[in-house]
Amino acid sequence: GYKCVKLLGQGSFGRVFEVEKSGWRYAVKISRQGAQYEKSCKREGSIMEDINHLEIGPKLVDSFTHEG
């Protein structure tokens, strides 16, 4: 799993953490609960998947829903 390193920021949408896994550092966005946030996350994930092949900006490495 991912090990939380520190909170990078937070806002109306949720929080972003710096995490580590297998020696690599990533940013993890955790959105607030609610249908509107889930829809926005799915849309953002879809866009990130579409542009992953381009050599610009951040890459989407993983996407999941955590219940609990």
Residues within the annotated binding site?
A: 29
Q: How many CA atoms lie within 13 A of 9 on its CB side?
A: 4
State the Cα–Cα distance between residues 66 and 10, nearest whole angstrom. Answer: 19
Binding residues for ATP: 29
